[in-house]
């Protein structure tokens, strides 16, 4: 299992478009992927659950990945955050 603290970078927070990008990337991997904020953890492969997390711009979240390809999944999702979900 790998955990990493990250900051929500999209200007409008984790709304439908960045949530969709996150899920599309997460679903490429066999590992379980979860995102948590303020003690609430949701399935990183569900757009609806990610949106219900209500993670606004600048919010601190924890990405947790566990499974056979966890290192690759974590690296890919970290890149998505680093690219600011392709908003710029």
HSE at residue 48, side-chain half, CA atoms within 13 A, is 0
Q: Is the dihedral of CA 57, 60, 4, 53 positive or negative?
A: negative
Residues 6 or more apart in contact with residue 58 via CB below 8 angstroms: 7, 8
Active-site residue, from 6, 13, 15, 67: 15
- Residue 36 · residue 61 · CB < 8 Å: yes
Catalytic annotation present for 15: yes
List residues with catalytic annotation.
15
């Amino acid at each position: 299992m790998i955990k990493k603290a990250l900051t929500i970078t999209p200007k409008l927070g984790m709304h439908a478009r960045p949530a969709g990008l996150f899920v599309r990337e997460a679903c490429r991997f066999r590992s379980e992927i979860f995102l948590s904020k303020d003690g609430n953890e949701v399935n990183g492969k569900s757009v609806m659950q990610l949106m219900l997390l209500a993670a606004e711009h600048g919010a601190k979240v924890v990405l947790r990945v566990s499974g056979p390809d966890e290192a690759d999944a974590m690296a890919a999702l970290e890149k998505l955050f680093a690219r600011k979900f392709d908003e710029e």
